[in-house]
A and B are shown apart, each in its own frame.
Chain A
Amino acid sequence: MEELNKSNRRDFIKKSGILLAGSAFMASPINQLLAANGTTKLTILHTNDWHSRIEPFDKTDKNNAGMGGAEFRAALIKKYRAENENILLLDAGDIFQGTPYFNFYGGELEYKLMSQMGYDCVTLGNHDFDNGIDGLFKQMPHATFDFVNCNYDFKDTLLENKVLPYKIYKKGGLKIGVTGVGIELKGLVPEKLYGKIKYNDPVENLNKVAAYLKLEKKCDLIICLSHLGYNYKEGKIGDLSLAPQTKHVDLIIGGHTHTFLKEPTLVKNAVGKEVIVNQVGWAGLALGKIDFTFNNQQINGFIHTSNNVDIVDTHI
């Protein structure tokens, strides 16, 4: 495993070698001293496509017996909170639908538990509309976290001003801009459930919001919660085709396709910078954790390390 980490690290340094070498020349002793003092760490924890899996999978389940479960996820999150000061806890949508908990309680328990775990922000998936706009609106008082999406037009619906185009979080002196993109609802969700919500182009709207967050709001990190899906054969927009069309997004946290990534995918954006794309399957079976280290060294590009000591089963 140590070997694997080293080789990943080496590969990535190789990729951005020129940029790093350039910055090494510039680094004076004074800068290094400032760097040591000015280091800030931020940990992003994330989930997607929980699908109301409140309890661990049943003993009789073929693939996931005993796995998942909100009380165990909450414990893991608590452990990381004890270790890290600056944490953002995020979800990429489809919190609702999949077990009788949703049929019976309409998502109330899901939102309550996520609020207790201290989720900061979520985006909306197609199944979050399964009880209609009303059904979603009704559960929002149980949520202490924010809802973001920048490519649905909620005008003249109950969700207008309830789902924000972006939200800025301040952690340890860092400004983190979080936005979200959603999948086309037509053909996926009955029209009577999503009502007057209009779907707009995710690329155009994400770029607009991300540029605003970076250039006007001076965010240090920009995160997109995406419910578009990881990757599609042709035509349809997914996270892997979205990332190269962006300029300011640092991290895309995906959902919808229930993709278990052993490690995040790194994709070059429109200006040649790496975007991290991650997704952790579904059903609360896994938690994604990404640690970002910031300091005042002026380098271009970053060193990326993957620690997959606990690789998730991929056969779902």
Chain B
Amino acid sequence: MKNTFFIALLLVFGFNACAPKLTLTNTQTQNIKINKDSLQMRDELAFKTIAPYKARLDSSMNEILCYNNQDLKKDLPEGTLGNFVCDELMFYAELSRRRSSVIIPKSDFCIYNNGGLRVGSIAKGNITVGKIFELAPFDNELVVVALDGKYCKQLFDLMAQNNGAPCSKELRFDIENNKAVNITINDQPFDENAGYNILTNDYVASGGDKTEPMKYAKSVTSLNLMVREALIKQLRNRNKSAQPINIQLDGRIKQIK
């Protein structure tokens, strides 16, 4: 009898010991910085894996596109960097439109979101491919949006409320009490009853940055071309034809009191 009890006891504990039910009893956590200076070590395999990719990338990124003879700065209501991007995009979009086998409307002007300019400035000197990647890292495409004049006006007022936004030289207006006034397009007075074709990126065209009026677009035509790609090609062309970048502040958008 005593033996049976002992065996039973052994079975119970023995079974427990073989297949214990594990329970979580302690946790310890630490979020650690990856800091090469404090780590003082690197992984050779990772380093070697990266090396050929880095070498190819660096050779592409270091390609000099063209010479820039002044500091380009992001600014509002008007900045040289915004003027540069929008004017170059207008130029290249027209070139690309003429070459295209599909029908793409001719753009009247270009607008761009200020937040979409991802660097604060581009210094005087050579512009590299890498710099354009920094300026436009996202894969946004160029599109032409056909929009009725009254919605264009809403868009200009939105830009005015934000103390301006990057635009090409074809569009000019003054900001008075947060509204766009004295608007001209290609030196012609803006006509609210007319329709306009706006060159922009597909982020802005789809209502990004609160560009609500864009939802009333009559059509949106893709150029099948990324913003970054267009800028790189345009700057390469400039270099070939030896035309330096020459961007001025021309008061296309300005505050009037």
Interface residues of A, Cβ cutoff 8 Å to B: 30, 34, 37-38, 40, 54-56, 66-76, 78-79, 98-101, 103-105, 109, 112-113, 116-117, 130, 173-174, 190, 220-221, 250, 260-264, 276, 278, 280, 284-299, 302-313
Contact between A116 and B45 (Cβ–Cβ < 8 Å)?
yes
Interface size, B (range): 35 or more
Contact between B33 and A40 (Cβ–Cβ < 8 Å)?
no
**0/1 string, B49-84, CB within 8 A of A gives 1:** 110011011001100000000000000000000000
The total of Cβ contacts below 8 Å across the A-B interface reads: 192
Using A34-B17, A76-B39 as known contacts, say yes or no to A302 and B133 having CB atoms under 8 A apart.
no
Contact between B29 and A290 (Cβ–Cβ < 8 Å)?
yes
Measured CB to CB, the closest approach of chain A to B43, in angstroms, equals 3
Q: A295-B25, A310-B38 are in contact. List 13 more A-B contacts (CB 8 A).
A: A69-B36, A75-B39, A78-B43, A99-B137, A101-B57, A104-B57, A190-B202, A263-B31, A264-B29, A280-B31, A289-B31, A297-B23, A298-B21
CB-CB under 8 A from B241, the residues of chain A are none
Measured CB to CB, the closest approach of chain B to A98, in angstroms, equals 7
Cα distance A14–B127 when bound, in Å?
A: 61
Cα distance A291–B32 when bound, in Å?
A: 13
Q: Closest 10 interchain pairs by CB? A: A296-B20, A74-B43, A293-B26, A74-B46, A71-B46, A294-B22, A71-B42, A75-B43, A291-B28, A75-B41
CB-CB under 8 A from B28, the residues of chain A are 290-291, 293, 304-307
CB-CB under 8 A from B1, the residues of chain A are none
Contact between A296 and B23 (Cβ–Cβ < 8 Å)?
yes
8 contacts between A and B (CB under 8 A): A54-B54, A72-B42, A72-B43, A76-B32, A109-B49, A190-B206, A310-B33, A310-B38
CB-CB under 8 A from A55, the residues of chain B are 50, 54
Contact between A293 and B24 (Cβ–Cβ < 8 Å)?
yes
Using A100-B133, A109-B53 as known contacts, say yes or no to A69 and B34 having CB atoms under 8 A apart.
yes
Contact between B22 and A302 (Cβ–Cβ < 8 Å)?
no
Cα distance A290–B61 when bound, in Å?
A: 39
Contact between A40 and B49 (Cβ–Cβ < 8 Å)?
no
Asked if B250 lies at the interface with its beta carbon under 8 angstroms from chain A, I say no
Contact between B30 and A67 (Cβ–Cβ < 8 Å)?
no
Contact between A284 and B30 (Cβ–Cβ < 8 Å)?
no
Measured CB to CB, the closest approach of chain B to A260, in angstroms, equals 8
Measured CB to CB, the closest approach of chain A to B254, in angstroms, equals 31
Cα distance A103–B130 when bound, in Å?
A: 11
Contact between B57 and A312 (Cβ–Cβ < 8 Å)?
no
Measured CB to CB, the closest approach of chain B to A243, in angstroms, equals 15
Cα distance A264–B29 when bound, in Å?
A: 8
Q: Give which listed residue, B20, B41, B130, contacts A72 with CB less than 8 A.
A: B41
Asked if B16 lies at the interface with its beta carbon under 8 angstroms from chain A, I say yes
CB-CB under 8 A from A250, the residues of chain B are 24
Measured CB to CB, the closest approach of chain B to A272, in angstroms, equals 15
Nearest opposing residue in chain A for B141, CB measure? A190
Cα distance A309–B38 when bound, in Å?
A: 13
Measured CB to CB, the closest approach of chain B to A252, in angstroms, equals 13
Cα distance A299–B22 when bound, in Å?
A: 10
Contact between B31 and A113 (Cβ–Cβ < 8 Å)?
no
